[in-house]
Amino acid sequence: MSVLSGKNILLGVTAGIAAYKTAHLVRLFIKSGAQVKVVMTPASKDFVTPLTLATLSKNPVYSTFFDKNEEENEEWNSHVELGLWADYMLIAPATANTLSKMSNGICDNLLLASYLSAKCPVFFAPAMDLDMYQHPATSKSITKLKSFGNIFIPPASGELASGLVGEGRMEEPKNIVAFMEKDIIKGLPLYGKKVLITAGPTYEAIDPVRFIGNHSSGKMGFELAKKAANLGAEVILISGPSSETISNSLIKRMDVVTAEQMYNEAHKYFYLVDIAILSAAVSDYKPKEIAKNKIKKNTPTLSLELIKTKDILASLGVVKKNQFLVGFALETNNEIENAIAKLNKKNLDLIVLNSLNDKGAGFKKETNKVTIIDKFKNISEFGLKSKAEVASDIFNEILNKLYA
């Protein structure tokens, strides 16, 4: 999943030969999970058709202040609404003409009016011939736009439409998307941080076909991993058996089965991270002996001798240095008291309490209801929410503690 997923991107297209690349650019934005609207200068329609970009973006393409479908029915295209809709604006290709107008506040088409109305970060990717790009007037425009806080995507060097070779070629669409993703991530609150998350159940073998396990789906841990990545962190996700899936270049997933395997992986990476959230439902006990062959149903009863598994959370609390350590507590009675006792005993910075007494909370649910307690015994209670929203609440609490 890209950091652009769910974001609104307003793409401004100007009249340069590189406009043909915008079809691929729109496809890449859509593939990343973004919503795209395109605003074109009238002259840019000579290089790429609005129909192409409308089809790919699944939105109408805007190029004039009025859409004259019928003489008596003129529809106003609001540059203000377009500017407010966008989470990010990209002008690509940005010609020398448009760069000059942008830097001087000239507003003679819908694209420029939308640019001046935008409240979001604005990226621009110049495209022009070598001598035009090297002209002092163009350099002045770019410098001025950067001083406004606009984000410059440098052109590449290569063969230009004139046949010359040099700077001025618009950067390739895949590199533009990567540039934007990297720049956005740098501005996120957990950029440069590493987060360790455990998720799902663990399974403890009885024999080659049977195991002791629990009903955890892993969804809460996976939502935490997604949220951490969306905040800019590099994430190490250690998951027990789970059908949940995740795709994000910032998330490294490792699959384990047993509590012992999860213990080893958690200790392997704990010293590398800044934040650790142990949301996995780890088995507390495992069979002392694992039968080598399938146990036959030859007797009316079966006795298993169980021994304790290693306490992953407590063991990390012992070796903790500067890490911010978060645990989960699933309780059925004396919830607050038991959670605070666990918080203190295991040297945690924060504990997230779930109660099976709360309707809609617990395993195999799309929702959860939590109470978050910090090491100073400050208690924050939250209502029933989706697990994605709960993940946001948890990280809001962590960020408030880290940056208080």
What residues are annotated to the active site? 214
According to DSSP, the β-strands at 275-278 and 285-287 are unpaired
Cα–Cα distance measured from residue 360 to residue 373, given in angstroms and rounded to the nearest whole number? 20
Residues 6+ away with beta carbon under 8 Å from 70: none
Q: What is the dihedral of CA 242, 246, 252, 254, to 10 degrees?
A: 10
Closest CA to 283 of 346, 202, 364: 202
Question: Mind giving me the DSSP string for 31-58?
Answer: HTT-EEEEEE-GGGGGTS-HHHHHHHHT
Cα–Cα distance measured from residue 317 to residue 348, given in angstroms and rounded to the nearest whole number? 6
Closest CA to 7 of 27, 30, 38: 30
Burial class of residue 182, CB neighbours in 10 A (0-12, 13-18, 19+): exposed
H/E/C letters for each residue in 114-160?
A: HHHHCCCCEEEEECCCHHHHHCHHHHHHHHHHHHCCCEECCCEEEEC
Counting other chains too, the contacts that 69-76 makes at CB distance below 8 Å and 24 or more residues apart are none
Q: CB 272: neighbour CB atoms within 10 A?
A: 11
Q: State residue 54 phi and psi, 5-degree precision.
A: -65, -40
- At CA 221, angle to CA 217 and CA 227, rounded to 5? 135
E strands in 263-383: 275-278, 285-287, 306-308, 324-331, 350-355, 367-368, 370-374, 379-381
Closest CA to 10 of 95, 67, 100, 92: 92
286 with 212: CB under 8 angstroms? yes
Burial class of residue 365, CB neighbours in 10 A (0-12, 13-18, 19+): middle
